[in-house]
Amino acid sequence: MYFFRFIPFLFFGPIGGWLADNFSLKKNMILSEFVRLLASLFVFITTITGTAHIIVLIFAAICTTIGRSIFQPSFQAAIPRMFSTKDLTKANSVAQIIIETASVIGPLVCSLLLFLANKSAVLIFDFFTYFISIIVLFNLMNLNSNENKSFNFIKIYRETASYLKYISKENNNLLITLVGSSFAILFTGAILRFLIPAFVLSIGGEESLVSYIFSLMAVGTIVGGLLYHKIIFKITSLKLMVFWLLYGVILFVMPLAAELYLKLILVLAFVLGFIGALVDISLVSAIQLYSRREDFGKSFGTFSTLANSAEAVSGFIAGLFALVGLLSSFLAMSAFIISTGMIGVVKIKKNKELTPLNTTVDDDH
């Protein structure tokens, strides 16, 4: 299920980016929410009629992912059009806080609905979240693209490949931001989704402790989002890769600390969430700042394809590493994240850092 959930990003990530550059951002986001609303409605109908099946869930997951692949590039390309360059960091911080807060409140509401009612109530709640989102988006200002091109499926993929070739030669910082972050996500996804819960349970922790860990990570992310614009004043790809390095270090220390005293992992979970906010906000801001205005969608579409494909593969990677033991795989994959950050820092240091195309960035040295 998890693998099927992200397969569409391979095909629709570039399309989502193209739509963001060549079509109305408002209409793109409404379309994506409508697709996900229909997927939610489909699952609800099959549930109440007793016809729910794994095939139904896979189909709904694919439709949801298609909607997400359209939504993400348009949403992230809309922020620079709605806010001035000096307010971008604050806007991205607020967006991250809202997303993380929703990720905490959503499961709590669903748990309450399951306790008071049943699964159908949860699906109705899911349906209405998309419905409300569509209503809100209808009230958004029109954010039309600068140009309109005819849709050509093959040409879109050629443009994406050409764009990657272009930034590899002309915009090294953006390339490192996109590819380096995607490579780090390949291992991060596996650790967060599979290894942390499995490792905690394997050393005697209870399921409630796993819940506390992820709750504290969410709290740390919210705090990081609140403080980001107060502690980070200039965004560069160098800072992003340093944050990835620190993120890997905390992940590397977590299992070792837990072996000494299990509850130490709770403190580290909060710190991990805090640094995760620095990574997330810096990543979005760096893509916005290093991309040309007419390529916002293409940049985010490319990243969406790379990152989500990496996240889909992360489950298989975790399985392979787990063959040598949970602790070993935890440490090895954390080391890969650290290495990714270090390689990114070294490459940026070697190449004189370019000034972002949409802002002025001071030297990080």
Helix (H, G, I), strand (E, B) or coil at 290: helix
Number of domains in the chain: 1
pTM, whole model, 2 decimals?
0.86
Choose among 29, 205, 272: nearest CA to 133: 29
What angle is formed at CA 122 by the lines to CA 310 and CA 11, rounded to 5 degrees?
25
Task: Evaluate whether residue 81 is within a structural domain.
Answer: yes
- The span from the CA of 156 to the CA of 136, in Å, is 30
Predicted pLDDT at 362: 41
- The span from the CA of 51 to the CA of 253, in Å, is 46
φ and ψ at residue 24, rounded to 5 degrees: -65, 125
Domain encompassing residue 210: 2-145+164-350
Predicted pLDDT at 354: 47
Task: Evaluate whether residue 80 is within a structural domain.
Answer: yes
Task: Evaluate whether residue 112 is within a structural domain.
Answer: yes
Task: Evaluate whether residue 365 is within a structural domain.
Answer: no
- The span from the CA of 34 to the CA of 39, in Å, is 9
- The span from the CA of 125 to the CA of 121, in Å, is 6
Across the 365 residues of the chain, what is the mean pLDDT of every consecutive 10-residue run? 66 88 91 96 93 87 89 91 86 91 88 88 94 94 69 83 88 93 90 89 87 92 93 91 98 95 94 96 93 88 86 75 82 94 92 52 40
Predicted pLDDT at 32: 96
- Burial readout 277-310 (b: 16 or more C-beta within 10 A, e: otherwise): bbbbbbbbbbbbbbbeeebbbbbbbbbbbbbbbb
CATH number at 288 reads 1.20.1250.20
Task: Evaluate whether residue 262 is within a structural domain.
Answer: yes
Instruction: Count other Cβ atoms within 10 Å, centred on residue 356.
Output: 22
Predicted pLDDT at 173: 92
Task: Evaluate whether residue 361 is within a structural domain.
Answer: no
Query: Which string of DSSP letters, residue by residue, matches 80-142?
Result: HHHS-GGGHHHHHHHHHHHHHHHHHHHHHHHHHHHHHS-HHHHHHHHHHHHHHHHHHHHTSPP
Predicted pLDDT at 146: 57
Structure tokens at 302: 């490319």
Predicted pLDDT at 307: 86
